[in-house]
Amino acid sequence: MPSKTCALCHSARPILKRPKTGQQICKDCFFKVFETEVHNTITEANLFRTGDRVAIGASGGKDSTVLAYVMKTLNERYGYGLELFLLSIDEGITGYRDDSLETVKRNQEQYDMPLKILSYDELYGWTMDRIVSTIGRKNNCTFCGVFRRQALDRGASALNVDHIVTGHNADDIAETVLMNIMRGDIARLGRCTAICTQGEDTIRRSKPFKYAYEKEIVMYAYFKKLDYFSTECIYSPDAYRGHARAFLKDLEAARPSAIIDIIHSGEAFEVKQEVKATQKLQQTCKRCGYMSSNELCKACTLLEGLERGLSHAVITDRARQKLDAEEPPSQAMRTIPYFNLPRAPGVTS
C-alpha cells in the first residue's frame, strides 16, 4: 500500500518509489535528492575546478538531455564556475541522428549553451549510411564506436575544453561490468567503473550519473517535461549489450539494488599487476597523432580498410600489416586530420 506522505518531507503525497532505497517520495523531494546526489558524486570525486571548460556529450537522448539540464542547474546553484558546452557527433544516419540533432539544437536554445556538431563525414569522409551501404550490417557498430570515441575527443579539442562529461548512468555501468565479465575482459573490468578516466594524452572524461538509476533519470525528464529524443538506431543495435541489458532489467525487477550492487562488485575487483602488465603501452598514431596502442590507431585502420575497399580484411592489426607488405596504401587515400590536444589546463599559450 502507498504511504500517505513522502518519506522525506512527511507532508506531500509521494509520486515515486526510489529503486535505490525503496523510499516513497514526493515530486519536490525527488528533484532535490536526485540533483543533490549528482552534486555529491561530483564533489566527492573532485571532478571539476573553477573555470573549467566542460563539454557535455549530447545525443538528444534522455540521459544527455537530463545531464545538460542538471549540469546547468548545479553549476548555477553551487557556483561551480564552469563554462558549459554541448558537443554532438553526427554519425550521418538518416532518419535517426538527423532527428535527434534537432532535439540537441532545441536544447541549445533552451539551456543557452553553445553547441558544436562534428560529423563523421567532415572528419573521416564517410557517413554511417555510406559505411553500412559498403560493408553491410555485420560490423557497423565497431566502426561507429571507434569513430565516435575519437570524434568526441576531436570535437572537445576544437572547443578547447578541459573535460568531457557523458550521460552514462548506473544501469549502463552495471551492464558494462556484466559484459566485461562475460567476455573475460579483465583489463576493462578494472577500468569501467572509474568515474573519471584520463590518460596522459587524453581529455578527461567523466560520468556524473554514475550512481543515477535510469528509472530516476527517465522520471526526472518526465516530471520536468524535458525535451528528448528516443528512437533505436536504425542499424541493428549492439546485440550483446542488448542481452546484458535485458538480463540486468530482470535482475532489477527482482531486486532493485542489483544495479548498484553490480557496480560495487566491479569497483571491488582488484586487477593484479601481472594482468595490468599485459596491456599494451599507449603510443601516438603515426598517421593522425591520436593515442593508440598500435602503430596506427583503430580509426585510421578502419578508415584505411574502407578506403581500400577491404574493410573486412583490415579489422585486425595483423591483417593490415600483411596487406601493407603486398601493396602499400596510396598517397591519395583519405586520412584523418592530425590530432592536437588542447592546451594543458592552467597553461596559457
Partner 1 sequence: MTDSQVLNLKVEFGGGLELLFDKKRSHRVALPSPPSSPPDAAKKTPADINFLIHWLKDNLLRERAELFIENGTVRPGILVLVNDTDWELEGEGEYVLQEGDEIVFISTLHGG
**Minimum CB distance to partner 1 smaller for 2 or for 79:** 2
- Chain positions 93 to 132 lying near partner 1, rule: CB under 8 A, are none
Determine which residue in the list 90, 91, 162, 214 makes contact with partner 1, applying CB under 8 A.
214
CA-closest candidate to residue 42, choices 191, 163, 202 = 163
CA-closest candidate to residue 80, choices 110, 113, 42 = 42
Distances from the Cα of 193 to the Cα of 187, 198, 259, angstroms: 12, 13, 12
Determine which residue in the list 12, 45, 181, 233 makes contact with partner 1, applying CB under 8 A.
233
Q: Is 12 in the site for partner 1 (CB under 8 A)?
A: no
Taking contact as CB under 8 A, which single stretch among the options 125-133, 137-145, 244-252, 274-282 is the one that binds partner 1?
244-252
# residues contacting partner 1 (CB under 8 A): 34
Taking contact as CB under 8 A, which single stretch among the options 69-77, 78-86, 216-224, 341-349 is the one that binds partner 1?
216-224
Compute the distance between CA of residue 190 and CA of residue 276 in angstroms, rounded to an integer.
Answer: 9
- Chain positions 153 to 212 lying near partner 1, rule: CB under 8 A, are 167, 169, 171-172
Determine which residue in the list 98, 250, 261, 324 makes contact with partner 1, applying CB under 8 A.
250
- Chain positions 32 to 71 lying near partner 1, rule: CB under 8 A, are 59, 61-64
Interface contacts to partner 1, rule CB under 8 A = 1-2, 13-17, 24, 59, 61-64, 167, 169, 171-172, 214-215, 217-219, 222-223, 230-233, 245-246, 249-250, 252-253
